[in-house]
Structure 1
Amino acid sequence: MLTAGIDVGSVATKVVLLRDHEIYHLVRPTGWSPRDAGLNTFQELLQQTGYQESEVVCKVGTGYGRISLDFIDKAVTEIHCHARGANYLVNGGGLVIDIGGQDSKAILMNDEGKVLDFTMNDKCAAGTGRFLQVMAAALGVDVSQLAELAKDQQPLEINSMCTVFAESEVISLLAKGSNKQEIIAGIHRSVTRRVWGMASRFGAAKQIIFTGGVAKNLDVRNRLAKEAGAPVIAPELGQFAGALGAALYARDLASKELS
């Protein structure tokens, strides 16, 4: 049984094709049209894998752009899809912290991956991938370089979490001759403090699963673990947790129809 999950985020679109335990995945920029991003990325992954669209028995969409996907069978909220996908990648429930391009979320789930509670920051870029992109541009580096540059550095204090004011603060620190690596470490610490401040309302968790594109940043991951006082697990396919969860929901739907 082949199913698909399409996660259209504000910055990136992730697609997963799921067949038994085989996971095929692809990420592309969302751009200006969520529908086109979802459809084109889905079709590109089909081409890469050699599957035909007729072989996909069910397609589930998620993410902010899910309502624009007119080719899917069902839409499911990203909260439930992220929890389902994260629990598939790392069994045993716990707390999912997802930092995406334009929002960050914390999801408390039980051992089966069922959502117990969640909180979300979707009104401000602070504590998101977009915040890191703006800071990287102000520093004249690529966002992919941030983790290595901040490694083992003593963080400078970044007082503002508003993106506009923080950018001005970073430019001012550079003008004063402050160490660029220490500024980046300070930015990372600000992000993790903001995110953990949001997630800590759930109290201690037996495990923290870090998903989303920012989870690939090892320095952010380490500083998040320090803020939380607990180990942070970042699964290899963590960026695809939402799309994977959607593909799992699609498999459930298809199984019900066949039974």
Structure 2
Amino acid sequence: MSEEVRNVNYVGIDIGSTASKVVVRGTSDMQFVLPTGWSSKETTQTIKEKLKENDVDVLGDETKVVATGYGRIAVDFADYVITEITCHARGGRELAGGDCTVIDVGGQDTKVILIENGMVQDFLMNDKCSAGTGKFLEIMANRLGVTLQELFDLAEKGTVLPISSLCTVFAESEVINYIGEGRSREDIAAGVVDSVVTKVAQLAMRKAMTDRVILTGGLSHSAYFTRRLSEQIGKNVESTADGRYAGALGAAILAEEKSRRGR
């Protein structure tokens, strides 16, 4: 990044339904994540204060901010507000180093974005049901009395029990029944994770995916989830270390690109 660009901070803020991610590129390179909580506005204020503590003045002329995500309209100091698809595509392309298919499993929705020749060619989004999202896994982990990572660890040791319900409420009833039957937590966990993997895979396979597929979102750190998804879609799905920041990263890059174009 040139010295001229590094004198300016470009901030990407992705207000998700479960977690809010922030990426700063420029003089104050940094990234962090906070729980969104019940109020996007309160979370936005917390982000503003945390940035200020790190010498990033979101109201200053030397800082450009792009907001995206579920609660993007709450970021009242944003210079630009850009859709999730555009930001996740730009961030995913950056993480992959080129064209790819981005599968983003968020708290309340799952997105499949096809990027070809550096542009979004097609996308699909499931935001009607949380049964194929990270929120479903969090609910089931709480039901089993474990953390999300412990859920994956248990699942890796278990044998899949079928969870057929498409609704989170009814799926939770199936899990409660399995618990009542004395089934092992390992097998129940395997069934829970498999049900989400199946729903994500079904969504992704509705599109003609590119050869390269990357996983972003809050589950992108899980080697087990990534491996199971690879098996179901018949393609190697790559996990990304900073995958949960894809939307915020894309937003920060777009802030820079828009500023350079003087828009």
Normalization by structure 1: what TM-score?
Answer: 0.92
Match of 1:27 in 2: 33
Deviates more, 1:70-79 or 1:227-236: 227-236
**Distance in 2 (alpha carbons) for counterparts of 1:254 and 1:203:** 34
Structure 2, unpaired ranges of 5+: 1-7
Residue 40 in structure 1 maps to residue 46 in structure 2: yes
The answer (yes or no) to whether the contact 2:221–2:240 under 8 Å persists in 1 is no
**Distance in 1 (alpha carbons) for counterparts of 2:185 and 2:235:** 28
**Distance in 2 (alpha carbons) for counterparts of 1:45 and 1:230:** 39
- Residues 115-156 of structure 1 show CA distances to partners (whole Å, capped at 9, x for unaligned) of 111111111111111101111122121223111111243211
Match of 1:217 in 2: 222
Closer, same or farther: CA 149–17 of 1 in aligned 2, 3 Å: same
- What pairs with 1:1-259 in structure 2 (closer than 5 Å)? 1-19=8-26, 23-47=29-53, 49-53=54-58, 54=60, 56-112=62-118, 114-257=119-262
**Runs of 4+ with >2 A deviation:** 49-57
Deviates more, 1:76-85 or 1:148-157: 148-157
| CA RMSD in angstroms, aligned pairs only | 1.8
Give the Å deviation of 1:204. 4.1
The answer (yes or no) to whether the contact 1:157–1:186 under 8 Å persists in 2 is yes
**Distance in 2 (alpha carbons) for counterparts of 1:23 and 1:189:** 37
**Distance in 2 (alpha carbons) for counterparts of 1:61 and 1:232:** 28
Give the Å deviation of 1:67. 1.5
Deviates more, 1:187-196 or 1:146-155: 146-155
Counterpart residue type for residue 74 of structure 1: Y
Percent identity between the aligned chains? 42
**Distance in 2 (alpha carbons) for counterparts of 1:10 and 1:159:** 25
Counterpart residue type for residue 9 of structure 2: L
Counterpart residue type for residue 160 of structure 1: S
Structure 1, unpaired ranges of 5+: none
Q: In the comparison of the two structures, how many residue pairs are matched? A: 255
Counterpart residue type for residue 199 of structure 2: R
Give the Å deviation of 1:51. 3.7
Normalization by structure 2: what TM-score?
Answer: 0.91
Closer, same or farther: CA 204–86 of 1 in aligned 2, 3 Å: closer
Q: SS at 1:119's partner residue?
A: strand
**Distance in 1 (alpha carbons) for counterparts of 2:242 and 2:251:** 14
- Residues 35-90 of structure 1 show CA distances to partners (whole Å, capped at 9, x for unaligned) of 2212322431442x444443643100000111222100010000010010011011
Q: SS at 1:16's partner residue?
A: strand
**Distance in 2 (alpha carbons) for counterparts of 1:204 and 1:62:** 24
